[in-house]
Structure 1
């Protein structure tokens, strides 16, 4: 961590998800956040309260901060923000005025994740086949957390431009008879079944419960952590079958997005769920699902995939966004 002083002009960066919020301060280097802290969103009634408490605990005067970038697990449309998987609501203009910031950018969390990927060191990248990357080609950033985030990086002469997408809400790709039956069960519960209904933390539980119903079993697990632990530890056959299906579907969805984006620069798997199951993911049908694209198989076989294990990636990206004129909603 770097040190800060009262005379240093600082930027506040934040990564706000459905469950956790991360805050940090940056001066010049996006890859060097200071005073990083993670909190439970449920402990605070609003984003404003969470920021105020963070600054108090960090013993940082609000006058030392002149800019901020807040990454949210939510679409960003207009001034009023209502998060998708979090009850927090606010107006961008009011938040900027409350803290007296000269600049405020509010961006999608996976836009921030994408911008942060180039700042992740090699020690926090786990290779999952393919390669080498074509460095002048787009990169795909995708990952299951509270939802399924999807973004991308497009190279330009002046650096990377991130794409803000809602790619987690595409249709779930099914092929086998068992998958069709799982889809039927999920459709009876949710109607339309998006990729996120399965490829997320809550989605993993949805899939586990659907598997249990299909097999005529009780399915006692109620959290994604329980399913992952039982599957990785090979202590529950239903949980293991569920996680194997999860990984294969993730490979297919990531492969579809990679083909759409033309991301020969690599695919980067982010989020808090996958690092807990890195070895299982590598040995699963993820890569097979990723590459199974018919006449496009050779392209997919050459496309590298990396698991990102640095949980500060979105904070790096939020810091990077502060100096990128192409990024985010700028409040003047």
Structure 2
């Protein structure tokens, strides 16, 4: 993989050797090497569950990549990053950044929130790496919001500084879920049987898709069934299953609420971007889903949300672009 063609002035190898880039989610760990500015190669996706520790996955990747002489690494992780200790919310990895740096023999190991990294990639997306779903033109220099449903629900943002974008670290996926109609209120009431605090992430995520399906079966008096998210999507889009279709439509509606709330909170006139692993699996259906109608339905603020564009990120590995920029900035500052 190569993200863009490096210009002649940036095509030389990194003076400090290849840089390790990583994007760690609740399910998969994605790795790559940046061998020159903008040249990202040797992408590998490893299952996190196959490795007892974070460093085990890193070492496995480096072995697959031929043991390159890496001195600097940056990791985007689906977790808050505050201080040295990392304990993942949606996976069982826990580690000290400094201890991991020493074990891996790195000069610098930088760990950032995954949506901080993805936010930094947004301004660099090409037109063919995003799909607009409704709204008008983005306002230049205005805040940008980012929402992504995968193993969890990521939320981030960007605001413009003097001459560059500043990412906003966020755990907005853990705000309280807000139902918009009686059907969603019934799903929330079902969820309260299991969770005292029902966050948006409990429903607007891959596991959330499965939870909504279980809730609808219980609410309507159907026999219980444990379907995986991929099976629910297939049932909705390919097999015409009514409960699966309603599950997907409720998921898209709820995502519309989350995205619109973020747009209003940030004043995101620069647009809202949708990332994560779930929406791409919905394909063209997402554009026809209730997502955009829910996004625009904000009462007295509907005029505002109707104008804000929403985009689905279609780039395959956008987080690598973001972490590359973050690492480059840190190394420049050190020099």
Band the TM-score falls in, shorter-chain normalisation: over 0.9
Quick one: structure 1 residues 94 and 267, their matched pair in 2 at CA, closer, same or farther if it must change by over 3 Å? same
- Which residue in 2 is equivalent to 1:273? 278
Q: CA deviation at 1:5?
A: 7.2
What CA distance in whole angstroms lies between the structure 2 residues aligned with 1:170 and 1:97? Answer: 36
- Which residue in 1 is equivalent to 2:28? 20
Q: Is the 8 A contact 2:146 2:273 kept in 1?
A: yes
Q: CA deviation at 1:308?
A: 0.6
Q: CA deviation at 1:8?
A: 6.1
What CA distance in whole angstroms lies between the structure 2 residues aligned with 1:300 and 1:6? Answer: 43
Structure 2 unaligned regions, length at least 5: 3-10
Q: Deviations over 1:187-217 (max 9, x none)?
A: 1122221100000000110111001111111
- Which residue in 1 is equivalent to 2:263? 258
Residue aligned with 2:142, SS = coil
Q: CA deviation at 1:118?
A: 2.2
- Which residue in 1 is equivalent to 2:139? 134
Residue aligned with 2:110, SS = strand
> Is 1:90–2:112 an aligned residue pair?
no
What CA distance in whole angstroms lies between the structure 1 residues aligned with 2:102 and 2:135? Answer: 48
Bigger RCO of structures 1 and 2 (CA < 8 A, at least 6 apart):
1
Q: CA deviation at 1:124?
A: 2.1
> Is 1:50–2:57 an aligned residue pair?
yes
Quick one: structure 1 residues 231 and 326, their matched pair in 2 at CA, closer, same or farther if it must change by over 3 Å? farther
> Is 1:9–2:17 an aligned residue pair?
yes
Q: CA deviation at 1:43?
A: 1.0
Q: CA deviation at 1:246?
A: 0.8
Q: CA deviation at 1:235?
A: 2.3
Structure 1 unaligned regions, length at least 5: none
What CA distance in whole angstroms lies between the structure 2 residues aligned with 1:4 and 1:241? Answer: 52
- Which residue in 2 is equivalent to 1:168? 173
What is the 5 A alignment of 1:171-320?
A: 171-320=176-325
> Is 1:68–2:70 an aligned residue pair?
no
Q: Is the 8 A contact 1:272 1:311 kept in 2?
A: no
| TM value normalised by structure 2 | 0.92
Residue aligned with 2:176, SS = coil
Q: CA deviation at 1:20?
A: 0.3
Quick one: structure 1 residues 274 and 299, their matched pair in 2 at CA, closer, same or farther if it must change by over 3 Å? same
What CA distance in whole angstroms lies between the structure 1 residues aligned with 2:330 and 2:33? Answer: 20
Q: CA deviation at 1:60?
A: 3.0
Quick one: structure 1 residues 6 and 196, their matched pair in 2 at CA, closer, same or farther if it must change by over 3 Å? closer
- Which residue in 1 is equivalent to 2:7? none
Q: CA deviation at 1:293?
A: 1.1
Quick one: structure 1 residues 6 and 277, their matched pair in 2 at CA, closer, same or farther if it must change by over 3 Å? closer
Quick one: structure 1 residues 6 and 57, their matched pair in 2 at CA, closer, same or farther if it must change by over 3 Å? farther
Q: CA deviation at 1:279?
A: 1.7
Q: Deviations over 1:237-293 (max 9, x none)?
A: 001011111101110111001100111101110011111103221111111111111
